[in-house]
Structure 1
Amino acid sequence: MGFWEFIVIAVVGTIVLGPDKLPSAIRRFSQMKRQFSQMVQGVSAEVNEQLRVHELHENLKKAEQQGMENLSPELQQSVDELTNAAKSVQQTLSEPAVDNVKHDK
């Protein structure tokens, strides 16, 4: 947005809203813009994560088709990443749960 566009918006906003309501309208607009930007960033991060998971899935399919032997470095890295993730999940599941319940005496 250029300088002159900003001036036109400020003049129109002053005429439509009046000088007393304009500052609160600007604050509300900036809050909405910030929330929208955060939402867009969240969606973008989620899409990127889903694309990464899809790529790992496709690489795992290729590795299985090759019999898990003589894999390219990219495929081997994907397989290793998935193996480490599976081990991490197994370790988390095998750890005993801590009982935080207090017993009355």
Structure 2
Amino acid sequence: MFDIGFAELLIVSVVALLVLGPDKLPTAVRTCGMWIGRIKRSVTAIQHEISEELRVEELRRTAAISKEELDKELKEMRTPFKAAAEEVDAAVKAVDTSETPPSSPAAEDQKHS
């Protein structure tokens, strides 16, 4: 991130010791470390949330593509069954129209007499 070498850290430490003094320097360093830790945790949490959202979005995209493929396959598989069902319906209608209505039992008795 930043290219800070040992020499730069040594200069900053000496200046901080001269400005703050030996009494306040440990407290200032502790406070600075605490804030840096909070910032790092916040950045890590944000990165984690972003990567999780990207993962979820990728899963949604993959699921949508899979759904489209499955819908296409389902449509292809329905075609022969739909044609067969239409043939069966046509055959049933043909059988229904060719049948004579059933005769009543009284009509049967009159035929036999």
TM-score with structure 1 length normalisation? 0.60
Q: Distance in 1 between matches of 2:71 and 2:33?
A: 53
1:19 aligned partner, one-letter code: P
Q: Distance in 1 between matches of 2:19 and 2:60?
A: 55
Partner residue in 1 for 2:49: 46
Deviation at 1:15, TM superposition (A): 2.0
TM-score with structure 2 length normalisation? 0.56
Alpha-carbon distance change, 9 to 68 in structure 1, aligned in 2, over 3 angstroms: farther
Larger relative contact order, structure 1 or 2 (CA cutoff 8 Å, min sep 6): 1
1:65 and 2:73 aligned = no
Deviation at 1:2, TM superposition (A): 1.6
2:37 aligned partner, one-letter code: R
What's the CA shift string for 1:45-102, capped at 9, x where partnerless? Answer: 11111000000000011112112577xxxxxxxxxxxxxxxxxxxxxxxxxxxxxxxx
1:9 and 2:12 aligned = yes
Alpha-carbon distance change, 68 to 9 in structure 1, aligned in 2, over 3 angstroms: farther
Larger radius of gyration: 2
1:37 and 2:40 aligned = yes
Structure 2 unmatched ranges of 5 or more? 74-113
Which is helix-richer, 1 or 2?
2
Q: Distance in 1 between matches of 2:66 and 2:28?
A: 57
What's the CA shift string for 1:3-62, capped at 9, x where partnerless? Answer: 111111011111221221111000001111111111111111111110000000000111
* Mapping 1:19-30, distance limit 5 Å: 19-30=22-33
Count of aligned pairs? 70
Q: Distance in 2 between matches of 1:5 and 1:68?
A: 64
Q: Distance in 1 between matches of 2:34 and 2:71?
A: 52
C-alpha root-mean-square deviation of aligned residues, in Å?
A: 1.7
Partner residue in 1 for 2:82: none
